[in-house]
Amino acid sequence: MVKQAYIPETDKKRIIIVGGGFGGLKLARKLAGSPYQVILIDSHNYHQFQPLFYQVATAGLEPTSISFPLRKILQNLPNIHFRMASLLRVDPISKTIETDIGLMNYDYLVLALGVVTNYFGMETVKNKTIPMKSVSEAIYLRNRILMNFEKALNESQRQDIDPLLNFVIVGGGPTGVELAGALAEMKKYVLPKDFPELDFSRMNIYLLEASPNLLSGMSDRAHDNALKYLGKLGVKVKLNAMVTGYEEDSIKIKDMDPIHTSTVIWAAGVSGEVIEGLPESLFTPSKRIQTDRYNRIPAYEDIFVIGDLAYMETEKYPEGHPQVAQVAIQQAKLLATNFKKLAQNKTIQPFEYKDKGSMATVGRKLAVADLPWFKLRGFTAWLLWLFVHLMQLVGIKNRFFVFMNWWWNYVLYDQSLRVLIRPKLFRYQERISE
Protein backbone atom coordinates (compact mmCIF):
# COMPACT_ATOMS: atom_id res chain seq x y z
CA MET A 1 0.00 0.00 0.00
CA VAL A 2 1.32 3.42 -0.95
CA LYS A 3 1.90 5.68 2.05
CA GLN A 4 0.46 9.17 2.38
CA ALA A 5 2.96 11.98 1.86
CA TYR A 6 3.02 14.33 4.82
CA ILE A 7 1.55 17.76 4.12
CA PRO A 8 0.11 19.96 6.91
CA GLU A 9 -3.68 19.75 7.03
CA THR A 10 -5.66 22.99 6.86
CA ASP A 11 -9.24 24.00 6.22
CA LYS A 12 -8.17 25.61 2.92
CA LYS A 13 -8.77 24.02 -0.45
CA ARG A 14 -5.57 22.51 -1.83
CA ILE A 15 -4.00 23.22 -5.21
CA ILE A 16 -1.20 20.89 -6.29
CA ILE A 17 1.10 22.24 -9.02
CA VAL A 18 3.28 19.65 -10.73
CA GLY A 19 6.39 21.25 -12.23
CA GLY A 20 8.59 24.16 -11.14
CA GLY A 21 9.33 25.59 -14.57
CA PHE A 22 8.28 28.99 -15.90
CA GLY A 23 4.55 28.27 -15.64
CA GLY A 24 4.43 26.26 -12.41
CA LEU A 25 6.67 28.63 -10.46
CA LYS A 26 4.86 31.74 -11.70
CA LEU A 27 1.50 30.23 -10.70
CA ALA A 28 2.73 29.29 -7.21
CA ARG A 29 4.10 32.79 -6.59
CA LYS A 30 0.92 34.45 -7.86
CA LEU A 31 -1.13 32.33 -5.44
CA ALA A 32 0.87 33.51 -2.42
CA GLY A 33 -1.54 34.92 0.15
CA SER A 34 -4.56 33.42 -1.65
CA PRO A 35 -7.26 31.45 0.18
CA TYR A 36 -5.67 28.17 -0.96
CA GLN A 37 -3.04 25.81 0.34
CA VAL A 38 -0.61 25.44 -2.57
CA ILE A 39 1.73 22.47 -2.99
CA LEU A 40 4.44 22.81 -5.64
CA ILE A 41 6.23 19.57 -6.54
CA ASP A 42 9.21 19.07 -8.84
CA SER A 43 11.80 16.34 -9.31
CA HIS A 44 14.52 18.99 -8.74
CA ASN A 45 14.80 21.42 -5.85
CA TYR A 46 15.71 24.27 -8.17
CA HIS A 47 14.26 26.30 -11.04
CA GLN A 48 16.18 26.00 -14.33
CA PHE A 49 16.47 28.85 -16.83
CA GLN A 50 16.35 26.83 -20.03
CA PRO A 51 17.14 29.59 -22.59
CA LEU A 52 20.72 29.75 -21.28
CA PHE A 53 21.52 26.03 -21.15
CA TYR A 54 23.66 26.43 -24.25
CA GLN A 55 25.91 28.92 -22.45
CA VAL A 56 26.54 26.39 -19.67
CA ALA A 57 27.34 23.79 -22.34
CA THR A 58 29.90 26.10 -23.98
CA ALA A 59 31.55 27.17 -20.71
CA GLY A 60 30.11 30.68 -20.79
CA LEU A 61 28.17 30.41 -17.53
CA GLU A 62 28.27 28.37 -14.35
CA PRO A 63 25.25 26.07 -13.81
CA THR A 64 24.44 27.86 -10.54
CA SER A 65 24.06 31.15 -12.43
CA ILE A 66 20.95 29.89 -14.23
CA SER A 67 19.54 27.75 -11.40
CA PHE A 68 17.77 29.01 -8.29
CA PRO A 69 16.61 27.02 -5.23
CA LEU A 70 12.85 26.70 -5.20
CA ARG A 71 12.73 26.77 -1.41
CA LYS A 72 14.52 30.13 -1.35
CA ILE A 73 12.07 31.57 -3.89
CA LEU A 74 9.12 30.40 -1.76
CA GLN A 75 10.48 31.58 1.59
CA ASN A 76 8.07 33.60 3.77
CA LEU A 77 5.04 32.40 1.79
CA PRO A 78 3.15 30.45 4.49
CA ASN A 79 0.44 29.03 2.23
CA ILE A 80 3.00 27.65 -0.27
CA HIS A 81 4.69 24.29 0.36
CA PHE A 82 7.36 22.62 -1.76
CA ARG A 83 8.02 18.89 -2.05
CA MET A 84 10.80 17.37 -4.14
CA ALA A 85 8.94 14.54 -5.83
CA SER A 86 8.18 12.98 -9.20
CA LEU A 87 4.64 12.39 -10.44
CA LEU A 88 3.86 8.72 -11.04
CA ARG A 89 0.11 8.59 -11.48
CA VAL A 90 -3.06 10.68 -11.36
CA ASP A 91 -6.34 9.30 -9.98
CA PRO A 92 -9.09 11.75 -11.00
CA ILE A 93 -11.78 9.68 -9.23
CA SER A 94 -10.26 9.84 -5.75
CA LYS A 95 -8.63 13.22 -6.51
CA THR A 96 -5.16 12.02 -5.56
CA ILE A 97 -1.78 11.86 -7.21
CA GLU A 98 0.82 9.20 -6.57
CA THR A 99 4.42 10.41 -6.31
CA ASP A 100 7.70 8.75 -5.38
CA ILE A 101 7.30 10.14 -1.83
CA GLY A 102 3.69 9.04 -1.40
CA LEU A 103 0.07 9.96 -2.12
CA MET A 104 -1.24 13.53 -2.12
CA ASN A 105 -4.88 14.67 -2.13
CA TYR A 106 -5.95 17.68 -4.15
CA ASP A 107 -8.96 19.90 -4.70
CA TYR A 108 -7.40 21.30 -7.87
CA LEU A 109 -4.51 19.85 -9.85
CA VAL A 110 -2.33 21.85 -12.24
CA LEU A 111 -0.02 19.96 -14.60
CA ALA A 112 2.94 22.15 -15.60
CA LEU A 113 5.36 19.35 -16.40
CA GLY A 114 6.75 20.73 -19.63
CA VAL A 115 7.96 18.42 -22.38
CA VAL A 116 10.81 16.04 -23.13
CA THR A 117 13.12 15.53 -26.10
CA ASN A 118 11.47 13.94 -29.13
CA TYR A 119 13.64 11.43 -31.03
CA PHE A 120 10.88 10.54 -33.52
CA GLY A 121 11.17 6.83 -32.71
CA MET A 122 14.88 6.49 -33.58
CA GLU A 123 16.39 4.38 -30.78
CA THR A 124 19.98 4.67 -32.02
CA VAL A 125 19.66 8.44 -31.99
CA LYS A 126 18.09 8.42 -28.53
CA ASN A 127 20.84 6.22 -27.09
CA LYS A 128 23.84 8.02 -28.59
CA THR A 129 23.03 11.73 -28.91
CA ILE A 130 23.07 14.45 -26.24
CA PRO A 131 19.84 16.36 -25.51
CA MET A 132 19.61 19.87 -24.03
CA LYS A 133 16.63 19.81 -21.67
CA SER A 134 18.29 20.18 -18.25
CA VAL A 135 21.25 21.73 -16.47
CA SER A 136 22.78 18.29 -15.92
CA GLU A 137 22.62 17.56 -19.67
CA ALA A 138 24.27 20.93 -20.37
CA ILE A 139 27.09 20.06 -17.95
CA TYR A 140 27.47 16.66 -19.61
CA LEU A 141 27.76 18.36 -23.01
CA ARG A 142 30.38 20.78 -21.68
CA ASN A 143 32.40 17.81 -20.40
CA ARG A 144 32.05 16.04 -23.75
CA ILE A 145 33.20 19.08 -25.73
CA LEU A 146 36.26 19.68 -23.56
CA MET A 147 37.13 15.98 -23.35
CA ASN A 148 37.05 15.69 -27.15
CA PHE A 149 39.92 18.16 -27.44
CA GLU A 150 41.87 16.46 -24.65
CA LYS A 151 41.50 13.15 -26.51
CA ALA A 152 42.38 14.70 -29.88
CA LEU A 153 45.76 15.80 -28.47
CA ASN A 154 46.67 12.16 -27.94
CA GLU A 155 45.70 10.94 -31.41
CA SER A 156 48.02 10.95 -34.43
CA GLN A 157 45.82 9.58 -37.21
CA ARG A 158 43.43 11.87 -39.07
CA GLN A 159 40.66 9.26 -39.07
CA ASP A 160 40.81 9.22 -35.25
CA ILE A 161 41.03 12.99 -34.80
CA ASP A 162 38.33 14.16 -37.22
CA PRO A 163 35.32 12.59 -35.42
CA LEU A 164 36.47 14.30 -32.22
CA LEU A 165 36.62 17.71 -33.91
CA ASN A 166 33.34 17.40 -35.81
CA PHE A 167 30.31 18.64 -33.88
CA VAL A 168 26.80 18.08 -35.24
CA ILE A 169 23.76 19.94 -33.91
CA VAL A 170 20.40 18.61 -35.07
CA GLY A 171 17.59 21.16 -35.00
CA GLY A 172 17.58 24.71 -36.37
CA GLY A 173 15.40 26.32 -33.70
CA PRO A 174 16.70 28.92 -31.21
CA THR A 175 18.60 26.30 -29.16
CA GLY A 176 20.38 24.86 -32.18
CA VAL A 177 21.20 28.24 -33.70
CA GLU A 178 22.47 29.70 -30.43
CA LEU A 179 24.55 26.63 -29.60
CA ALA A 180 26.09 26.56 -33.09
CA GLY A 181 27.05 30.24 -32.82
CA ALA A 182 28.55 29.78 -29.34
CA LEU A 183 30.65 26.80 -30.47
CA ALA A 184 31.86 28.76 -33.50
CA GLU A 185 33.00 31.60 -31.24
CA MET A 186 34.80 29.15 -28.95
CA LYS A 187 36.61 27.82 -32.03
CA LYS A 188 37.61 31.33 -33.09
CA TYR A 189 38.52 33.03 -29.83
CA VAL A 190 39.07 30.50 -27.04
CA LEU A 191 40.06 26.96 -27.99
CA PRO A 192 43.17 27.78 -30.07
CA LYS A 193 44.69 29.43 -26.98
CA ASP A 194 43.97 26.39 -24.82
CA PHE A 195 45.02 23.79 -27.39
CA PRO A 196 47.73 25.38 -29.58
CA GLU A 197 48.91 21.93 -30.72
CA LEU A 198 45.64 21.25 -32.53
CA ASP A 199 44.84 22.41 -36.05
CA PHE A 200 41.45 24.11 -35.64
CA SER A 201 40.94 24.44 -39.36
CA ARG A 202 39.90 20.79 -39.08
CA MET A 203 37.19 21.55 -36.53
CA ASN A 204 33.75 21.56 -38.16
CA ILE A 205 30.41 22.64 -36.72
CA TYR A 206 27.37 21.36 -38.59
CA LEU A 207 23.80 22.52 -38.03
CA LEU A 208 21.17 20.22 -39.54
CA GLU A 209 17.58 21.35 -40.03
CA ALA A 210 14.92 19.10 -41.59
CA SER A 211 12.81 22.01 -42.88
CA PRO A 212 13.76 24.61 -45.54
CA ASN A 213 14.41 27.37 -42.96
CA LEU A 214 16.09 28.02 -39.63
CA LEU A 215 14.12 29.46 -36.70
CA SER A 216 10.74 28.11 -37.71
CA GLY A 217 7.99 30.46 -36.57
CA MET A 218 10.05 33.61 -37.05
CA SER A 219 10.02 35.90 -40.08
CA ASP A 220 11.76 35.26 -43.40
CA ARG A 221 14.10 38.13 -42.55
CA ALA A 222 15.10 36.40 -39.32
CA HIS A 223 15.66 33.11 -41.20
CA ASP A 224 17.89 34.79 -43.77
CA ASN A 225 19.89 36.82 -41.25
CA ALA A 226 20.49 33.84 -38.97
CA LEU A 227 21.73 31.83 -41.95
CA LYS A 228 24.02 34.70 -43.00
CA TYR A 229 25.43 35.19 -39.50
CA LEU A 230 26.15 31.49 -39.03
CA GLY A 231 27.87 31.41 -42.40
CA LYS A 232 30.15 34.27 -41.32
CA LEU A 233 31.04 32.32 -38.19
CA GLY A 234 31.96 29.26 -40.25
CA VAL A 235 29.05 27.03 -39.28
CA LYS A 236 28.09 24.56 -41.99
CA VAL A 237 24.30 24.76 -42.19
CA LYS A 238 22.41 22.01 -44.01
CA LEU A 239 18.71 22.64 -44.67
CA ASN A 240 16.19 19.96 -45.69
CA ALA A 241 18.53 17.59 -43.84
CA MET A 242 16.48 14.84 -42.25
CA VAL A 243 18.45 12.61 -39.88
CA THR A 244 17.67 8.91 -40.28
CA GLY A 245 20.09 7.33 -37.79
CA TYR A 246 23.38 7.48 -35.92
CA GLU A 247 25.68 4.46 -35.89
CA GLU A 248 29.43 3.89 -35.52
CA ASP A 249 30.25 7.60 -35.19
CA SER A 250 28.36 8.39 -38.38
CA ILE A 251 25.20 10.51 -38.53
CA LYS A 252 22.97 9.40 -41.41
CA ILE A 253 21.09 12.07 -43.39
CA LYS A 254 18.43 11.38 -46.01
CA ASP A 255 19.77 11.99 -49.57
CA MET A 256 23.05 13.44 -48.20
CA ASP A 257 26.48 12.12 -47.34
CA PRO A 258 26.90 10.97 -43.72
CA ILE A 259 28.98 13.02 -41.28
CA HIS A 260 31.60 11.29 -39.14
CA THR A 261 31.40 12.61 -35.59
CA SER A 262 31.58 11.41 -32.01
CA THR A 263 29.35 14.23 -30.75
CA VAL A 264 25.76 14.85 -31.86
CA ILE A 265 23.60 17.34 -29.94
CA TRP A 266 19.88 16.70 -30.41
CA ALA A 267 17.71 19.83 -30.38
CA ALA A 268 15.27 18.73 -33.08
CA GLY A 269 11.96 18.57 -31.29
CA VAL A 270 9.98 18.02 -28.12
CA SER A 271 7.10 15.85 -27.01
CA GLY A 272 4.93 15.47 -23.97
CA GLU A 273 4.62 12.24 -22.02
CA VAL A 274 1.46 10.24 -21.37
CA ILE A 275 0.57 10.52 -17.68
CA GLU A 276 -0.62 7.30 -16.10
CA GLY A 277 -4.20 7.53 -14.88
CA LEU A 278 -5.35 9.97 -17.57
CA PRO A 279 -7.10 8.57 -20.66
CA GLU A 280 -4.87 8.47 -23.74
CA SER A 281 -7.71 10.10 -25.69
CA LEU A 282 -6.84 13.38 -23.94
CA PHE A 283 -3.42 13.48 -25.59
CA THR A 284 -2.57 14.79 -29.05
CA PRO A 285 -0.17 12.87 -31.34
CA SER A 286 2.67 14.98 -29.88
CA LYS A 287 1.52 13.95 -26.37
CA ARG A 288 0.20 17.38 -25.39
CA ILE A 289 -3.00 17.47 -23.33
CA GLN A 290 -6.06 19.08 -24.86
CA THR A 291 -7.59 21.86 -22.77
CA ASP A 292 -10.43 24.35 -23.05
CA ARG A 293 -9.93 28.13 -23.13
CA TYR A 294 -9.50 28.14 -19.33
CA ASN A 295 -6.58 25.66 -19.41
CA ARG A 296 -8.91 23.06 -17.95
CA ILE A 297 -9.20 19.47 -19.15
CA PRO A 298 -12.81 19.30 -20.40
CA ALA A 299 -13.41 15.87 -18.87
CA TYR A 300 -12.29 17.03 -15.41
CA GLU A 301 -13.43 20.30 -13.84
CA ASP A 302 -10.61 20.24 -11.29
CA ILE A 303 -7.54 19.43 -13.47
CA PHE A 304 -5.72 22.17 -15.39
CA VAL A 305 -2.72 22.13 -17.74
CA ILE A 306 -0.40 25.06 -18.51
CA GLY A 307 2.77 25.62 -20.49
CA ASP A 308 4.31 23.41 -23.16
CA LEU A 309 2.14 20.43 -22.16
CA ALA A 310 -1.12 22.31 -22.80
CA TYR A 311 -2.75 22.12 -26.22
CA MET A 312 -5.38 24.85 -26.60
CA GLU A 313 -6.95 25.63 -29.96
CA THR A 314 -8.04 29.22 -30.57
CA GLU A 315 -9.03 31.19 -33.64
CA LYS A 316 -5.58 32.78 -33.74
CA TYR A 317 -3.76 29.53 -32.90
CA PRO A 318 -5.78 26.69 -34.47
CA GLU A 319 -2.89 24.24 -33.99
CA GLY A 320 -2.13 25.22 -30.40
CA HIS A 321 0.12 27.88 -28.94
CA PRO A 322 3.88 27.96 -29.51
CA GLN A 323 5.83 26.08 -26.84
CA VAL A 324 7.68 29.07 -25.42
CA ALA A 325 8.11 30.51 -21.94
CA GLN A 326 5.82 33.49 -22.49
CA VAL A 327 2.82 31.26 -23.13
CA ALA A 328 3.43 29.39 -19.86
CA ILE A 329 3.90 32.61 -17.89
CA GLN A 330 0.78 34.26 -19.26
CA GLN A 331 -1.32 31.14 -18.69
CA ALA A 332 -0.03 30.94 -15.11
CA LYS A 333 -0.92 34.56 -14.40
CA LEU A 334 -4.47 34.18 -15.71
CA LEU A 335 -5.01 30.84 -13.97
CA ALA A 336 -3.96 32.39 -10.63
CA THR A 337 -6.53 35.14 -11.22
CA ASN A 338 -9.17 32.56 -12.13
CA PHE A 339 -8.48 30.49 -9.01
CA LYS A 340 -9.04 33.59 -6.88
CA LYS A 341 -12.30 34.24 -8.76
CA LEU A 342 -13.42 30.65 -8.20
CA ALA A 343 -12.90 31.16 -4.47
CA GLN A 344 -15.26 34.15 -4.68
CA ASN A 345 -17.77 32.38 -6.97
CA LYS A 346 -17.04 34.84 -9.78
CA THR A 347 -16.93 34.17 -13.52
CA ILE A 348 -13.50 33.13 -14.77
CA GLN A 349 -11.83 34.51 -17.91
CA PRO A 350 -10.70 32.62 -21.04
CA PHE A 351 -7.05 32.70 -22.05
CA GLU A 352 -5.84 34.87 -24.93
CA TYR A 353 -2.13 34.85 -25.73
CA LYS A 354 -0.42 38.21 -26.30
CA ASP A 355 2.62 37.56 -28.48
CA LYS A 356 5.51 39.75 -27.29
CA GLY A 357 7.84 38.56 -30.05
CA SER A 358 10.67 36.09 -30.57
CA MET A 359 14.44 36.45 -30.38
CA ALA A 360 17.56 34.38 -31.02
CA THR A 361 21.22 35.25 -30.65
CA VAL A 362 23.84 33.88 -33.02
CA GLY A 363 27.04 35.33 -31.59
CA ARG A 364 28.78 38.50 -30.45
CA LYS A 365 26.73 41.49 -31.62
CA LEU A 366 24.67 39.13 -33.80
CA ALA A 367 21.01 38.39 -33.10
CA VAL A 368 17.56 38.54 -34.67
CA ALA A 369 14.34 39.74 -33.06
CA ASP A 370 10.76 39.68 -34.35
CA LEU A 371 8.75 42.11 -32.21
CA PRO A 372 5.04 42.92 -32.62
CA TRP A 373 5.69 46.29 -34.27
CA PHE A 374 9.12 45.97 -35.85
CA LYS A 375 12.02 43.63 -36.55
CA LEU A 376 15.61 44.00 -35.40
CA ARG A 377 18.89 42.40 -36.35
CA GLY A 378 22.57 42.63 -35.51
CA PHE A 379 23.94 44.62 -32.57
CA THR A 380 20.63 46.24 -31.51
CA ALA A 381 18.84 42.88 -31.44
CA TRP A 382 21.78 41.41 -29.52
CA LEU A 383 21.58 44.11 -26.81
CA LEU A 384 17.83 43.58 -26.51
CA TRP A 385 18.33 39.81 -26.22
CA LEU A 386 20.88 40.33 -23.42
CA PHE A 387 18.59 42.67 -21.49
CA VAL A 388 15.45 40.53 -21.78
CA HIS A 389 17.19 37.32 -20.72
CA LEU A 390 18.99 39.03 -17.86
CA MET A 391 15.72 40.41 -16.48
CA GLN A 392 13.98 37.03 -16.75
CA LEU A 393 16.51 35.33 -14.46
CA VAL A 394 15.34 34.62 -10.93
CA GLY A 395 17.37 36.39 -8.24
CA ILE A 396 19.45 39.57 -8.20
CA LYS A 397 22.62 37.61 -7.41
CA ASN A 398 22.15 35.41 -10.49
CA ARG A 399 21.59 38.47 -12.69
CA PHE A 400 24.77 40.07 -11.34
CA PHE A 401 26.95 37.01 -11.96
CA VAL A 402 25.54 36.42 -15.44
CA PHE A 403 26.08 40.08 -16.32
CA MET A 404 29.70 39.95 -15.07
CA ASN A 405 30.38 36.77 -17.07
CA TRP A 406 28.93 38.34 -20.20
CA TRP A 407 30.98 41.53 -19.68
CA TRP A 408 34.17 39.51 -19.09
CA ASN A 409 33.62 37.40 -22.20
CA TYR A 410 32.81 40.46 -24.31
CA VAL A 411 35.86 42.50 -23.27
CA LEU A 412 38.48 39.74 -23.11
CA TYR A 413 37.13 37.32 -25.73
CA ASP A 414 37.50 34.57 -23.14
CA GLN A 415 35.49 32.19 -21.00
CA SER A 416 37.05 31.16 -17.72
CA LEU A 417 34.81 28.20 -16.91
CA ARG A 418 36.42 25.48 -19.02
CA VAL A 419 36.60 22.95 -16.19
CA LEU A 420 35.95 19.24 -16.60
CA ILE A 421 33.79 18.18 -13.64
CA ARG A 422 32.82 14.53 -13.83
CA PRO A 423 31.03 12.55 -11.10
CA LYS A 424 33.05 9.93 -9.27
CA LEU A 425 31.51 6.58 -8.41
CA PHE A 426 31.64 6.03 -4.69
CA ARG A 427 31.67 2.68 -2.94
CA TYR A 428 29.66 3.99 -0.03
CA GLN A 429 26.22 4.10 -1.58
CA GLU A 430 24.74 1.78 1.01
CA ARG A 431 26.07 3.91 3.86
CA ILE A 432 24.76 7.08 2.23
CA SER A 433 21.29 5.59 1.69
CA GLU A 434 20.90 4.49 5.30
- What is the DSSP secondary structure assignment for residue 2, as one 8-state letter? P
User: To the nearest 5 percent, what fractions of the chain are helix, strand and coil?
Assistant: 35, 25, 40
| 352 carries an active-site annotation | no
In 10 A of CB 219, how many CB atoms?
Answer: 14
- State how far the Cα of 165 lies from the Cα of 202, in Å rounded to an integer: 7
Burial 298-321 (b: 16+ CB within 10 A, else e): eeeeebbbbbbbbbbeeeeeeebb
Using CB atoms within 10 Å of the CB of residue 427, give its burial: 0 to 12 exposed, 13 to 18 middle, 19+ buried: exposed
Kindly name the residue from 178, 185, 248, 434 that is annotated as catalytic: 178
What does 391-415 look like in DSSP terms, one character per residue?
HHSSSHHHHHHHHHHHHHHHHHS--
- State how far the Cα of 190 lies from the Cα of 152, in Å rounded to an integer: 16
The H or E element containing residue 91 is strand 87-91
Q: Which amino acid is at 277?
A: G
φ, ψ for residue 94, nearest 5 deg: -85, -5
- State how far the Cα of 255 lies from the Cα of 243, in Å rounded to an integer: 10
- State how far the Cα of 320 lies from the Cα of 44, in Å rounded to an integer: 28
Q: Could you tell me how many helices (H) and strands (E) the chain has, helices first?
A: 13, 25
Which residue numbers are catalytic? 178
